[in-house]
């Protein structure tokens, strides 16, 4: 691995230098070979599991790594915490993929940092495996996401109410810059650092902002235009992400601003879950007492989070406002006028979010239903279907899978008609002239298998048992690798049925009625 640590160049306000904690008995449990190939990790290292265990437990630093804990703030369930930061994670640095794309390599569960807030900085095996499984499942489903490179057991026992085996998971992300990263700097009035982070984010994630190719626009944007363009780009990424979550029935569980990556990828998989029975109010997170982050609220929360990012950019934008008759105004009046101008411009972008989200939302559901266009009629059709699914307590994934199959299977069509009634005929009348095309589109958007909650929990329990009961570390490693790989092989082809798919398509016996997820911290 060849590390290139550009984030460190931003300076001290952005992070704290800190080494990962040493662990007694690191053992590599899972290794993502496809991802490691993309990251150009050498064959010699890939074939040395002992060295991989040392590197990805934090015991030994790879050459060029400069571990840091990132500083950020965050709104947690709507309440602002001015100092959060990486409390159990160490960013080793950045590497370039074979496609010359920059990725962060971060250890999670690797010990205390200055941001640990009295926590031990450790991670149990099950949450580490959950992140690996869920991130790879989302990747296969076509959802923007961070990924996992490795899971290493540490040989430690950590306490989360019960004694649990410890582990470190290695996260690979386009970056770990969050809305909370901007909030941390803005809350301290450090506008120059907000500007530095903006410039860095544009260069890393949105270079098109500074590389205008449209001849009708000036060769370079003004500083004011860059701020507004950045906000709009981040909003577009968030809309794309949330709509993809909704497409597959994913519930993040904790959409705090510190869990909102500006690159538009899914990060932090603690209380995440998949929806079985459709209900827009579905919540599985044990700490989401009031349903703030319920399935159907995720689009609204993203809008709120984007408004918090806009709050951070507002003081910077104010600096670029030119006020009429500036010379005749007092300093206070000038600043108020600048703020009003900047606020009007930034609010215009924020207020465009609902219409943009609705367009993306209905376009997504149109694809799930094989509809060629979005109009008033098709929007009503989508709304009616979701209402019928909720009132009849239908499984989200299975219903759309059956709709896809029903276009060429009369028995499945009739089975759906028994539940959905006249809605089926209305839908079929719209797709009547292009059913084969419709089915092709639907098959690409409606998975046949997802990481259902009860299957994920069964896999995690089996892995924990394997680590506890195996007579040797090698046996445990082989067993866990086999259990997870078998599961991910099925989840790796979510839009195609294989011989093993049927083993993971069943719904939970209790309909996930009592299912809860936890942060794992």
Residue 176 contacts by C-beta under 8 Å, 6 or more apart in sequence?
70, 86, 91, 104, 106, 261, 267
- Residue 166 forms beta bridges with which residues? 124
Contact indicator for 490, 449 with CB cutoff of 8 Å: yes
Q: Is 393 exposed, middle or buried (0-12, 13-18, 19+ CB in 10 A)?
A: exposed
The distance of Cα 251 from the centroid of its chain, to the nearest Å, equals: 10
Residue 464 contacts by C-beta under 8 Å, 6 or more apart in sequence?
125, 126, 164, 165
Which 8-state DSSP code applies to residue 124? Answer: B
Q: Which of the residues 38, 258, 268, 512 is marked catalytic?
A: 258
Biggest alpha carbon distance in the chain? Answer: 83
User: Quick one: CA dihedral 158, 160, 164, 167, positive or negative?
Assistant: negative
Q: Is 258 a catalytic residue?
A: yes
State how far the Cα of 104 lies from the Cα of 126, in Å rounded to an integer. Answer: 23
Please give the span between the terminal C-alpha atoms of the chain, in angstroms, as a whole number.
29
Contact indicator for 506, 490 with CB cutoff of 8 Å: no
Q: Where are the beta strands (DSSP E) in 182-274?
A: 250-251, 273-274
State how far the Cα of 379 lies from the Cα of 377, in Å rounded to an integer. Answer: 5
478-484 long-range contacts, CB within 8 A, separation 24+: 480/29, 480/30, 480/129, 481/29, 481/30, 483/459, 484/30, 484/129, 484/132, 484/133, 484/459
Which residues form the catalytic set? 258
């Amino acid at each position: 691995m060849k590390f290139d640590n550009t984030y460190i160049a931003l300076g001290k306000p952005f992070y704290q230098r800190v080494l990962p904690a040493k662990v007694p008995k690191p053992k590599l449990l899972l290794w993502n070979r496809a991802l490691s190939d993309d990251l150009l990790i050498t064959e010699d290292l890939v074939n040395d599991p002992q060295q991989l265990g040392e590197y990805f437990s934090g015991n030994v630093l790879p050459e060029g790594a400069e571990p840091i804990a990132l500083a950020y703030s965050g709104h947690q369930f709507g309440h602002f915490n001015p100092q959060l930061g990486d409390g159990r994670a160490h960013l080793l640095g950045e590497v370039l993929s074979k496609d010359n794309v920059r990725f962060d390599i971060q250890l999670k569960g690797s010990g205390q940092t200055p941001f640990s807030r009295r926590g031990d900085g450790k991670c149990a095996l099950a949450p580490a495996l959950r992140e690996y499984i869920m991130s790879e499942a989302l990747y296969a489903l076509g959802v923007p996401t961070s990924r996992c490179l490795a899971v290493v057991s540490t040989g430690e026992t950590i306490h989360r109410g019960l004694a649990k085996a410890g582990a470190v998971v290695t996260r690979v992300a386009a970056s770990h810059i969050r809305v909370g990263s901007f909030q941390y700097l803005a809350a301290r009035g450090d506008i120059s650092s907000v500007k530095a982070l903006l410039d860095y984010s544009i260069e890393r994630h949105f270079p098109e902002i500074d590389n205008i190719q449209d001849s009708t626009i000036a060769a370079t944007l003004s500083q004011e235009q860059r701020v507004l363009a950045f906000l709009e780009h981040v909003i577009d990424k968030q809309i794309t992400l949330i709509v993809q979550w909704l497409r597959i029935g994913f519930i993040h569980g904790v959409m705090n601003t510190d869990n909102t990556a500006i690159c538009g990828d899914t990060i932090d998989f603690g209380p995440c879950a998949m929806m079985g029975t459709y209900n827009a109010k579905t919540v599985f997170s044990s700490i989401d007492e009031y349903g703030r982050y319920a399935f159907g609220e995720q689009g609204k929360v993203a809008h709120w989070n984007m408004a918090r990012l806009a709050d951070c950019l507002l003081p910077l934008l104010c600096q670029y406002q030119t006020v009429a008759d500036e010379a005749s105004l007092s300093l206070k009046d000038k600043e108020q006028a600048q703020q009003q101008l900047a606020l009007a411009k930034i609010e215009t972008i924020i207020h465009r979010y609902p219409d943009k989200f609705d367009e993306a939302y209905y376009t997504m559901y149109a694809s799930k239903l094989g509809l060629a266009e979005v109009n008033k009629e098709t929007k009503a059709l989508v709304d009616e279907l979701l209402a019928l699914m909720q009132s009849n307590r239908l499984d989200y994934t299975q219903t759309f899978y059956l709709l896809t199959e029903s276009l060429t299977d009369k028995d499945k069509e009739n089975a759906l008609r028994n539940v959905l009634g006249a809605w089926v005929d209305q839908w079929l009348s719209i797709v009547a002239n292009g059913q084969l095309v419709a089915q092709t589109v639907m098959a690409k958007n409606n998975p046949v298998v997802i990481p259902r909650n009860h299957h994920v929990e069964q896999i995690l329990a089996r892995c924990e048992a394997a680590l506890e009961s195996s007579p040797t570390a090698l046996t445990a490693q082989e067993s866990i690798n086999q259990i997870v790989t078998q599961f991910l092989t099925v989840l790796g082809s979510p839009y195609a049925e294989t011989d093993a798919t049927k083993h993971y398509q069943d719904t939970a016996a209790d309909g996930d009625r009592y299912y809860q997820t936890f942060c794992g911290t």
